[in-house]
Structure 1
Amino acid sequence: MTTKTIAMKSISYKNIASPKGFQATGIHCGLKHKKKDLALLVSDVPASVAGVFTTNAIKAAPLLITKDVVYETGKMQAIIVNAGNANACTGKQGMADAYTMQQLTADKLGIDPSLIGVASTGVIGELMKMEPVTTGIQNLEPVDELEGAIDFSLAIMTTDTVTKNTTYSTTINGKEVIIAGTAKGSGMIEPNMATMLGFITTDANIESNHLQDALKAITDVTFNAITVDGDTSTNDMVIVMANGMAQNNTLTPEHPDWENFLQTLHTVSQDLAKMIAKDGEGATKLIEVEVKGAITDIEARKIAKTVVGSPLVKTAIFGNDANWGRIIAAVGYSGATIDPNAITILLGTTKVVENGEPVPFSEDDLIIYLKQPEVKIFVDIHQGNGQGTAWGCDLTYDYVQINATYRS
C-alpha cells in the first residue's frame, strides 16, 4: 500500500447503511434460542460486487451460491445472512435450502434472484430449519437508519462478544464517498479465509473488475493477516458492494483519486480484521506482530503470521511471560529466509534480542507492559526490505471452554 497522505475521515456513527442507497436490518427468527439470527443488507440499485472466499476445499452451500453471483453476475443488490446454522456438509438438501433462501429474498424484494447473495454461519452438518427462515424473511424490513445497521451486525454474530463496525468517508471528484463495513468472527479464524463474514458497502462508482482487484490485494494484508486458532472454516467470505450513488466519475487505477478510494477501503478492511482478532474466543489481548528486513513482503507476512499463530507465543502473552525464545523459535520454523545471527526482537519498545543474542531487560517492566490489552512484537530479520504485519490474540482457558461446549 502507498503511504501517500489522503483525504479520509472516520465517521462516528459506524453504520453499514451509511453510504447512499443502502438499507439493513436483523431480527430473531428462531434459529437461535433468543438472539437475533437473520439479517438482510439491500442496495436501492444493483451494485458492482467483489468477493473473497474461504480456501477450505469444503465449501458451504450458501457460499457456492454467492460465489456464482460475484463471479458470474458481477452485480449484487442484496445479501441474506443467517447465524446459528452454517448449512455446510448438508448435501443436496442444503443446496436446495440455500437456493430457497435466495429465491424467498428475491420475492420479498421484487428483484431477480441472480442479484441475491446468501451467507450462513454456525454449526456445521445440521440441516437448516427452513420454517423459521421462511417466516423470518417475510418479516425483514430493512431501513437506512443506525438501528437497522446495529440489528444487522447483531444478527450475524455467533460466539462474538461485540459487534464489529467501522465507517470512513473520502473525497472523489470533489464528492463525498463513504465506505462502511461490518463483520463477525471470533473463533476458527485462520483466513485465507476463516469463520468470518465481512460485508462492506460503498456508494462509490466503480466497475466490478477493478473492485475485485482492489479487494484481493487489500485482503492479503488485512483479513488474511489475522489468526485466532489456526482453523479455516467452510463458510467464510468478504463481500464489497459499490452502488455508484455518490455519482463520482467511474473509478479505475488511472483515476486521480484512486488512492483515496484504495486506502479508505484498506482502512475499513484493516479495522474489521483487527476487531476480529481482538475478539478471538476467550481472548483478553490483541497481539500485533510487525516484521521488517525480510527478503520480500510475502516472507515478512509469513513470519508475522507464524509468530502470532504460535500457541506457545499466544499462551506466553496470556500469562504475561516475556518468553522471547518462543518468538524466535517461531521465526525459525516460519519457512522464511533468515540468518539466526541477525535477528532483533522487541516487546513493545523493549529490546530483548539483538543479533540473535539476549539483551538484558527488566522482567518487572515487561510484565506491566504485557498486561496491557494490546501487545506489540517487533521482529527485524536484516535480510532485505520486506515488511509485513499480522494480528492475533492470546490463547486462554476460556477458549478451551467455549469450544469444548460449542454444540451443547
Structure 2
Amino acid sequence: MKIIKTGGVTTPRGFKAGGTNCGIKANEKSDLAIIYSEVPGGTAILTTTNEVKAAPILWCKDVIANPYKQAVVVNSGNANACTGQAGITAVAATAKKMAEALGLKPEDVLVASTGVIGVALPVEKILSGIDVLVPKIGNTSEDGRLAANAILTTDTGVKTIGVEVEIQGKLVKIGGMAKGSGMIHPNMATMLSFVTTDVNIEPALLQKLLKETTIDTYNMISVDGDTSTNDMVTVMSNGMAGNDKLEEATTDYEIFKEAFVFVHKTLAKKIIRDGEGATKFIEVEVYGTKTKNEARILAKAVITSNLVKTALFGEDANWGRVLCALGYSGVEFDPLKVSLIFSSQAGMITLLKDGVPIAFKEDEAKKVLSETDINISVDLKDGDEKAVAWGCDLSYEYVKINGDYRS
C-alpha cells in the first residue's frame, strides 16, 4: 500500500470536488462542498444511531434504497436538525438543485449538513452556492482540499487521506475526507466522513465491509461522550480502476480491505487528534478478554471516562480512575488478574501487576504523561481477544468552546 501525501476525495479516478462560501458562515469562511463522480458509483452509508436524526440523514436513508449515487453536497455552519418539515423540504430542494446542475436525478444525490442544531437552514444560500460551485469543481488535490475545508466547524484543520494498492495489475485508489472535533462518541458521532474509491465492487459487499470496518474505527473513538444527530460515513465506488469485480474471501479483496480499513482508521484518529480543546491523544489497548466485544466495551469505558480524561490533562497518573472505569463497564473480570501500564515516547510505567499496585516515582510518571501521545495498556489475562479505542483529554478549552458554541 502506498500512502499519497496529498491524497483526498479526488485521488481516485473519475472524482471531482470543490468548496466555497455560500453565506451560511460569517467572514466568508468556506461552508459548501461537493463531491461528484463522472459515472454512477455503488454507494455504502452508515448514519447516526441517535433517535433524533437531522433532515439530510432522513433523505440519505431513504434514497440509498438504490445504492448507485453520483454526487454528495455538504454544508457546514447549520445542521438542519430539529427543523421540522421546513428542513425536509430544504434537503429535497438542495438535491433537486444539485441534480439539475449536474444532469442527474435528485435521488442520485446524497446530502449532508453539520453545525448548529435547531436553526432554520438558509436553503436559498445553498442553492445559489451550488450554481457558483459546480462549474469550479475539479480533480486536483487542491480541489479535494477545498472540499475538505468546507465541511469543517470547530475543527482546526482539514482531515484527508489517500492510498493506492495494486489489484489484478490495476492501480486502485482510495481517498477520503472527514470532519469532527466535538460531540464525538462511539456508535458514530458528530462526524462526517466521505470516502471515494475507483475499485469495482458490488454495493452490497461494500456496505458489508463498511459496517465491519466502522465497528473498530469510528465506533472506537470518543471526545466527549455525546452522539450527534447528523453523523454519517459514506463510500462511493465508481469502478473506474478497471479491475474485475472484487469477491469476498479472495486475496484481492483482502488487499483492498487492508487499505480500506487503514483509510477509515486514519480519518477516525485524525478526528480525535483534533478534539475540541484536546492536548492529549489517548490510545487504550485492552488485552486478554474472552470476546472481542468485551474488549471493545472495556476500552470505550476508559476513553469516555471524564475522570480519566481530566487526570491525563493534568498529567496525573491516577490509574485508579482507569480501573474504576473498567469496573463499571458491565464486563465481568477478576481485578486480581489485571495489569496496567501507562507509556509514551518518554518511557513506560507499570502501575498495576496481577492486581497488585506497583510503586512509582511521581516525577517519572509526570514525564511519561507530559507527552502528547499517551498509551494505556490493560491486560485482563482472561482470554485471547483484544481491542483498541482512541480518545483525548478534557481541558478548560473544551468548556470554553462549547460554552459559547452558538455565538
The bucket for the TM-score relative to the shorter chain is over 0.9
- 1:1-400 equivalent positions in 2, closer than 5 A: 8-34=1-27, 35-70=29-64, 72-140=65-133, 141-348=136-343, 349-400=348-399
Q: Distance in 2 between matches of 1:45 and 1:337?
A: 51
Q: Distance in 2 between matches of 1:201 and 1:191?
A: 23
Q: Is the 8 A contact 2:186 2:300 kept in 1?
A: no
Corresponding position of 1:4 = none
Q: Is the 8 A contact 1:294 1:337 kept in 2?
A: no
Q: Distance in 1 between matches of 2:206 and 2:126?
A: 32
Secondary structure at 2:229 match in 1: coil
Task: Give CA-to-partner distance per residue, 1:192-212, whole Å, 9 cap, x none.
Answer: 110000000000000100000
Aligned AA (2:32): L
Q: Distance in 2 between matches of 1:63 and 1:216?
A: 17
TM value normalised by structure 2: 0.97
State the Cα distance separating 1:191 from its structure 2 match.
3.1
State the Cα distance separating 1:13 from its structure 2 match.
1.2
Task: Give CA-to-partner distance per residue, 1:21-44, whole Å, 9 cap, x none.
Answer: 000000001000021000000000
Q: Is the 8 A contact 1:69 1:75 kept in 2?
A: no
Aligned AA (2:298): I
Unaligned runs of 5+ in 1: 1-7
Aligned AA (1:322): A
Aligned AA (1:198): S
Q: CA RMSD in A?
A: 0.8
Q: Is the 8 A contact 2:173 2:198 kept in 1?
A: yes
Q: Distance in 2 between matches of 1:387 and 1:80?
A: 38
Task: Give CA-to-partner distance per residue, 1:241-289, whole Å, 9 cap, x none.
Answer: 0000001010121333111111111000000000111111000111000
State the Cα distance separating 1:292 from its structure 2 match.
0.6
Aligned AA (1:107): E
State the Cα distance separating 1:371 from its structure 2 match.
1.2
Q: Distance in 1 between matches of 2:382 and 2:302?
A: 18
State the Cα distance separating 1:337 from its structure 2 match.
1.9
Q: Is the 8 A contact 2:197 2:237 kept in 1?
A: yes
Q: Is the 8 A contact 2:168 2:252 kept in 1?
A: yes
| Identity between Structure 1 and Structure 2 (%) | 49
Farther-moved stretch of structure 1 (326-335 vs 357-366): 357-366
Q: Distance in 1 between matches of 2:372 and 2:246?
A: 39
Secondary structure at 1:157 match in 2: coil
Aligned AA (2:358): V
Task: Give CA-to-partner distance per residue, 1:87-142, whole Å, 9 cap, x none.
Answer: 01111110000110000000110111111000000011111112211110101121
